[in-house]
């Protein structure tokens, strides 16, 4: 089937058809509008966009029937803006670059945005040396403009990181604009500002995923590494996030400092109701350069991996 699609796309007539479908109109991005309608939404567009819709529909119907995929499932998935964006980007990528290997989408599916350099903690291993905002940080108006540009380019997903993104007062305004642009977003945070109120706002904005950093299973280990007393607030933040129903992941940077505690942290994450645990390798850049000797030795890394293997 992959071969057949490639052959079909190599044909000059189908290339022209796809290029037309992937073009833009004052109605919007043609493919995205077509996918909206395909998903069963009410969409108003001009007669040219309607031709594009019929062509996209014919192409999708034929691919689905050949691959024996149920149309209902695809229609259901395409109701989700992230899926729609992703598929649009694939089709627009083929229209622009052809079916090449490695595959090139029209726009990046995901952008990790270091939204601010400001942070309320002073972690020893901070790769970004985050503390205060950098002098050239975007203003709110510029950040909103950047979001519009990402949306217009066809990005599907923005992962908000930092610094601590929630330190910026305009975080929710910007997140709201991300949603307005039909993009999904997630948040990487130290958890200290995940109050019930903030978490409620994240739920309202359809935040897809919250990643919370935890570097110890107790206040001593966590706080000494994070540079400020924060363990209790981070744990409360994790609880608030889990309670909200948003998928929560715990991220731990493993060093000599917390190596002995890794599995206690995993147990704690499980008890708190996190769905995901991420073991991050320590990258000694930023402030991390000062503690390069805390990086695991090859032997320690191997022992850690063996333990993972043996873990029930």
Q: Give me the residues that bind Zn ion (CB under 5 A), please.
A: 25, 27, 45-46, 49
State the minimum distance, in angstroms, from the CB of residue 312 to Zn ion.
58
State the minimum distance, in angstroms, from the CB of residue 24 to Zn ion.
9
User: CA triplet 52, 58, 60: central angle to 5 degrees?
Assistant: 100
Whichever of 54 and 307 has its CB closer to Zn ion, that residue is: 54
Whichever of 45 and 209 has its CB closer to Zn ion, that residue is: 45
Tokens describing residue 148? 């519009």
Would you state the torsion angle of the CA atoms of residues 95, 97, 102, 103, taken in this order, to the nearest 10 degrees? Answer: -20
State the minimum distance, in angstroms, from the CB of residue 82 to Zn ion.
23
Q: How far apart are CA 113 and CA 108, in angstroms?
A: 13
State the minimum distance, in angstroms, from the CB of residue 84 to Zn ion.
17
Q: How far apart are CA 27 and CA 6, in angstroms?
A: 30
Q: How far apart are CA 126 and CA 130, in angstroms?
A: 7
User: CA triplet 185, 250, 281: central angle to 5 degrees?
Assistant: 100
Is 117:137 a contact under the CB 8 Å cutoff?
Answer: yes
Whichever of 22 and 194 has its CB closer to Zn ion, that residue is: 22
State the minimum distance, in angstroms, from the CB of residue 92 to Zn ion.
16
Cis peptide before 99 (omega within 30 of 0): no
Strand partners, 72: none
Whichever of 38 and 282 has its CB closer to Zn ion, that residue is: 38
Choose among 142, 144, 153, 118: nearest CA to 132: 118
Is 174:143 a contact under the CB 8 Å cutoff?
Answer: yes
Q: How far apart are CA 208 and CA 202, in angstroms?
A: 9
State the minimum distance, in angstroms, from the CB of residue 104 to Zn ion.
26
Choose among 105, 112, 102, 100: nearest CA to 31: 105
State the minimum distance, in angstroms, from the CB of residue 45 to Zn ion.
5
- Per-position b or e across 261-271, b if 16+ CB within 10 A of its CB: bbeebbebbee
Whichever of 27 and 39 has its CB closer to Zn ion, that residue is: 27
Whichever of 45 and 171 has its CB closer to Zn ion, that residue is: 45
Whichever of 32 and 223 has its CB closer to Zn ion, that residue is: 32
Whichever of 37 and 287 has its CB closer to Zn ion, that residue is: 37
State the minimum distance, in angstroms, from the CB of residue 77 to Zn ion.
24
């Amino acid at each position: 089937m992959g071969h057949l699609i490639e052959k079909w796309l190599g044909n000059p007539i189908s290339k022209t058809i796809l290029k037309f479908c992937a073009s833009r109109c004052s109605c919007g991005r043609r493919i995205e509008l077509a996918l909206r309608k395909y998903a069963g939404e009410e969409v108003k567009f001009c007669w040219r966009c309607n031709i594009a819709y019929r062509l996209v529909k014919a192409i999708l119907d034929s691919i689905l029937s050949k691959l024996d995929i149920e149309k209902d499932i695809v229609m259901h998935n395409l109701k989700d803006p992230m899926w729609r964006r992703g598929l649009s980007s694939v089709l627009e990528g083929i229209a622009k670059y052809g079916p090449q290997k490695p595959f090139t989408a029209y726009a990046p599916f995901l952008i990790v945005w270091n939204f601010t350099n400001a942070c309320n903690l002073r972690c020893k291993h901070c790769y970004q040396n985050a503390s205060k905002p950098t002098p050239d940080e975007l203003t709110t108006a510029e950040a909103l403009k950047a979001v519009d540009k990402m949306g217009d380019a066809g990005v599907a997903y923005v992962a908000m990181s930092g610094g601590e993104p929630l330190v910026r007062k305009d975080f929710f305004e910007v997140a709201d604009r991300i949603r307005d642009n039909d993009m999904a977003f997630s948040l990487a945070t130290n958890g200290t500002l995940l109050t019930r109120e903030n978490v409620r706002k994240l739920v309202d904005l359809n935040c897809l995923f919250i990643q919370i950093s935890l570097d110890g299973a107790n206040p001593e280990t966590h706080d000494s590494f994070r540079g400020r007393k924060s363990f209790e607030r981070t744990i409360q933040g994790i609880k608030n996030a889990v309670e909200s129903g948003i998928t929560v992941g715990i991220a731990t940077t493993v060093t000599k400092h917390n190596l002995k505690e890794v599995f206690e942290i995993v147990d704690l994450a499980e008890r708190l109701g996190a769905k995901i645990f991420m073991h991050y390798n320590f990258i000694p850049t930023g402030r991390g350069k000062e503690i390069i000797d805390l990086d695991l030795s090859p032997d320690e890394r191997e022992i850690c991996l063996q333990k993972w293997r043996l873990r029930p």
